[in-house]
Structure 1
Amino acid sequence: MIPPRLVPLLEQYDFACERLTGRMAGPVMDSGDGSETPVGPMTDDEYLWEPVPDCWSVRRRTDGPGARATLLTGTGDWGRDAASHPHPFPPPFTTIAWRLSHLGEMLSLRADHTVGERRATREGHPVSGDAATAVAAFEADAAAWRKALLSADEAALDTVGHSTYPYGSDAEDPFVDIVWWVNQEVLHHGAEIALIRDLYRARRP
């Protein structure tokens, strides 16, 4: 039995993930009014497109971090631009690749720190260098967090520190607040990714 308070949050999460995945992978996307709009799968060029100078993105480790970044976080041949505190100000503009990597990492790590071994780290999270792999990773990470949500009962929703995710406010907030926060992360980063795809399509030659 899904706790009644969780039902609308889970429905919102499912809708946000489905809409973002459709927007990135096609062949159709929800245009917002329930109709299906054709859309092609995101290309590697879109995924890595830097619309302004000095973007933060994901990069080959052999190339090193981008402007104002001090390290490439994650594991594998690719890493995501990052910097130790204090972070650069104003914040760098981030590519689809950066935003999708950040989003997938957050979902995967929070799932692990809720129902897994509670040992996953940002440094150990794989970073994808191409669009298809990144979209598939997002779908897997989103499914992992959904599974964590389905494990929560009423008591868990009110428990402070039910998630031990070390990069957020999980240790200070009831789990239901974390569920809400993750939803808004998917919603707002999903909207950003969709907008960058639109800008890429409308760019001048």
Structure 2
Amino acid sequence: MTTPPRLSPLLEQFDFARQRLTDRMTGPVMDSGDGTDTKVGPLTDEEYFWEPVPDCWSVRRRVAGPGPRATLLAGTGDWGRDGASYPHPWPPPFTTIAWRLSHLSEMLTLRADHTNGDHALTRDDYLVSGDAAGAVAAFDAGAAAWRNALLSVDDAALDTTGYCTYPHGSDPEEPFIDIVWWVNQELLHHGAEVALLRDLYRARPH
């Protein structure tokens, strides 16, 4: 299928953001922003769970129960991601790399399923990773699934409201092209957050 012209720049932006975050988490080098390579090691479990301030939301063993101000652990498996039903706590809890990466990967996986899959996955089906390597692999799988979903759409689909049936967003009320843009900005801003947390972890007092 030929990629609709309106989709091409959004795909390019997605690919750029995906690669930059992947390199930032895995190394051995990343683009420093000026075209030069900067050495970076792979994300460690200690960084993945690091809480720079008290009472962070994170990924936790299900048997331990939710963290501060959380009322549930989203996902399935031995681990879950802190969450709460609406209204969410205010001010919002600070979240770890584990939380942010799980949230991002779940969103990509579920939106892919609700675009060209079975339209059935929910947060209760998503397997939450309890280690950094598993989380990076889950992100890669989710990003690949979402990109594959985008390659399945035509120009008419981009204008179709509710084309993606993802149940945890505004997808039923938005043209699909707006959802594609939204996913890009989610990847860009959560990717930047993960990168900043890695920088703060490296610079923390010892």
- Scaled to the shorter chain, the TM-score interval is over 0.9
Distance 1:139 1:64 in 2: 28
TM-score normalised over the length of structure 2? 0.99
2:69 is the counterpart of 1:74: no
Give the drift of 1:123: 1.0
Query: Match of 1:129?
Result: 130
* SS of residue matched to 2:164: coil
- The percent of aligned pairs where both chains have the same amino acid is 76
Distance 1:129 1:51 in 2: 19
Give the drift of 1:30: 1.1
Q: How does 1:60-139 map to 2 (within 5 A)?
A: 60-139=61-140
Distance 2:37 2:127 in 1: 32
Gaps of 5+ in 2: none
Q: Please list the CA deviations of residues 79-114 of structure 1 after superposition, one character each: whole Å capped at 9, or x if unmatched.
A: 000001110000000000000000000000000000
Q: How does 1:30-69 map to 2 (within 5 A)?
A: 30-69=31-70
* SS of residue matched to 1:51: coil
Distance 1:95 1:133 in 2: 16
Distance 2:131 2:17 in 1: 22
Give the drift of 1:37: 0.8
Give the drift of 1:5: 0.3
Distance 2:105 2:34 in 1: 27
2:26 is the counterpart of 1:25: yes
Give the drift of 1:34: 1.8
Give the drift of 1:27: 0.7
Ranges of 4+ aligned residues in structure 1 off by more than 6 Å:
none
Give the drift of 1:174: 0.3
* SS of residue matched to 2:181: helix
CA RMSD of aligned residues (A): 0.5
Distance 1:173 1:62 in 2: 38
* SS of residue matched to 1:3: coil
Distance 1:182 1:35 in 2: 27
Distance 2:183 2:80 in 1: 23
Distance 1:99 1:40 in 2: 19
Query: Match of 1:2?
Result: 3
Gaps of 5+ in 1: none
* SS of residue matched to 1:69: coil
Query: Match of 2:179?
Result: 178
Distance 1:34 1:144 in 2: 28
The amino acid across from 1:194 in the alignment is: A
Give the drift of 1:32: 1.0
Distance 1:87 1:117 in 2: 29
TM-score normalised over the length of structure 1? 0.99
User: What is the number of equivalent residue pairs in this alignment?
Assistant: 205
Q: Please list the CA deviations of residues 18-55 of structure 1 after superposition, one character each: whole Å capped at 9, or x if unmatched.
A: 00000001111111122111100010000000000000
